[in-house]
Amino acid sequence: MMERIPNSTFRIPNFAIGIAAIIVCLLAGSAFWRRTAVDPSLTAFVRKGPLTARLTTTGILRPAQSITYRSPLAGREAEITELAPEGMLVNEGDLLVRLDTTELQRELERAHQEVRQSQLEVQVADIERREAEAALTGVSEGEGALAVAETRTRLQLADKKVERLRLEYEQLQPLLEKGFITRDELKKTADELEQSEEEAALTRKRADVVIKLSHPRESQRASLQLVQKQSALENTRAKAQDARARLALLIERLEQCRIYARRTGLVVYEEFLGATPRRKIRVGDRVTGSQGLVTIPEVNRMLLEASVSEAEVHRVRTGLAAVVRVEAFPDLRLSGRVARVGSLARSSADRPFEDKRFDLIVELDSTPAELRPEMSARADIVVGTRSDALLLPITAIFERQGQLVAHVVHPYGIEARPVDVGESSEALVEIVSGLTEGETVMLTDPGHAVVAAAPGGKIPAVDRAQRSQADRGRPYQPR
């Protein structure tokens, strides 16, 4: 029978247990450090430095001003005989359009004849007016006045003769009574007195007719004729003036049939309204004054028509500087400034549930570059600057369940720490709170959940097997 060995023979010494515990701790520590080690190329340091915050928007180039040229011949058709090539860059004074002037030339010749005829009529009317003035002068100061004076003189002479004979008759009557004269002599004087009184009465009637009737009537007739001749002269002069104005208008229209550029710009043909289907105008078309012919956008003064979201509109104001890049010229950088920010928000008709946006106009500085309307462009608007901000790459910030976090690297693990951000540029973001200068953060999301610090400031590591897809955050998109 085998002898039973006592239990005390298999007892493990205490020092062996301690050595085993140390070995286990070393193995666990080694595994821990392997688990928390990170690639330095996937980390960044929190540092201080200057920051220029930009807001980026895209849009379409439009001319700051454009001029549409039309036919100057209102109410009539004219044939296009010459057009500047579409797409041509023209300068001020260059010929754009030439219209046919055959009908205008005929009208111009008739207008010249009307002007010559009206000038002749003015001369005749002026002569007649002068004759009427002379007639009025003759009545008031010439023969008419002389006839009145003669009539008055004859009346005065007749009155004096009557007075003389009456005095003589009165003187002869006493002499007849004294017998110094005969009765026949007295009768002869009486007959002469009677005859002179009759003649004086007739002369007085004639004077009344001349002075009170004939002369005023002649004066009135002469005045009326003068007024009529003066009115005829004014009417003739007005007709002559109308004829000259029509002639000047035809000459001006004739000159306007050669349409020249008033400013530098690009030639763009308008659609011909009389064609079905619609097409652009061309030589040979007959156009009226309502038909646009050529539009010249000023390509050396362009605007960028863009928009800004409702969440960002508070960052933009008039006068902010902008750098504009045109898709057609990748190496070109244009300077400009915000000219206008829309007052009312608008939503897209196709996507009514998307964020509302405000119109934004950026005015570009003058440039020799051959820009064209409708080109796509991008504007980087400087909305703020910081001289000594706490900075971190944008790729180091993540959104997790509505909270912005940065993954801070510690010797004992990775902490998902909430942060507050301020302004941002294309690559950097301003850290307002949550991080301190010199800390190291991950540029990728390791998928850790936010954990509380253990006693002594240590954060326990979370095993990868325990991470879920919900723990991972989304990259931060600065507004």
Q: At a CB cut-off of 8 Å and minimum separation 6, what does 431 contact? A: 46, 389, 390, 391, 392, 406, 419, 420, 421, 422
pLDDT of residue 479: 58
- Our CA angle for 125, 128, 131, nearest 5°, is 155
pLDDT of residue 29: 47
pLDDT of residue 161: 86
Q: At a CB cut-off of 8 Å and minimum separation 6, what does 90 contact? A: 84, 96, 261, 264, 265, 266, 267, 296
Q: What is the pTM of this model?
A: 0.51
pLDDT of residue 478: 65
Distance of CA 476 to the CA centre of its chain: 42
Among candidate residues 378, 446, 437, 438, the one with its CA nearest the CA of residue 415: 446
Distance of CA 121 to the CA centre of its chain: 48
pLDDT of residue 40: 84
Query: Residue 316 and residue 306: Cα distance in Å, rounded?
Result: 13
- Could you give phi then psi for residue 365, rounded to 5 degrees? -70, 155
pLDDT of residue 449: 41
Query: Residue 158 and residue 156: Cα distance in Å, rounded?
Result: 5
Q: Where are the beta strands (DSSP E) in 85-160?
A: 89-90, 95-99
Look up residue 6 and give its amino acid: P
pLDDT of residue 251: 92
Please state whether beta strands 321-326 and 376-393 pair in parallel, antiparallel, or not at all (unpaired): antiparallel
Mean pLDDT for each 10-residue chunk of the chain (479 residues)?
Answer: 42 57 53 57 89 88 89 87 91 92 92 94 92 82 78 86 86 81 83 86 84 81 89 93 93 90 89 87 90 87 89 88 91 91 78 77 87 89 85 90 89 88 84 90 72 36 39 63
- What domains are defined for the chain? 38-51+387-475 (2.40.420.20), 56-63+298-385 (2.40.30.170), 69-99+258-295 (2.40.50.100), 103-256 (1.10.287)
Q: Annotate 194-206 with b (16+ C-beta within 10 A) or e (fewer).
A: eebbeebeebeee
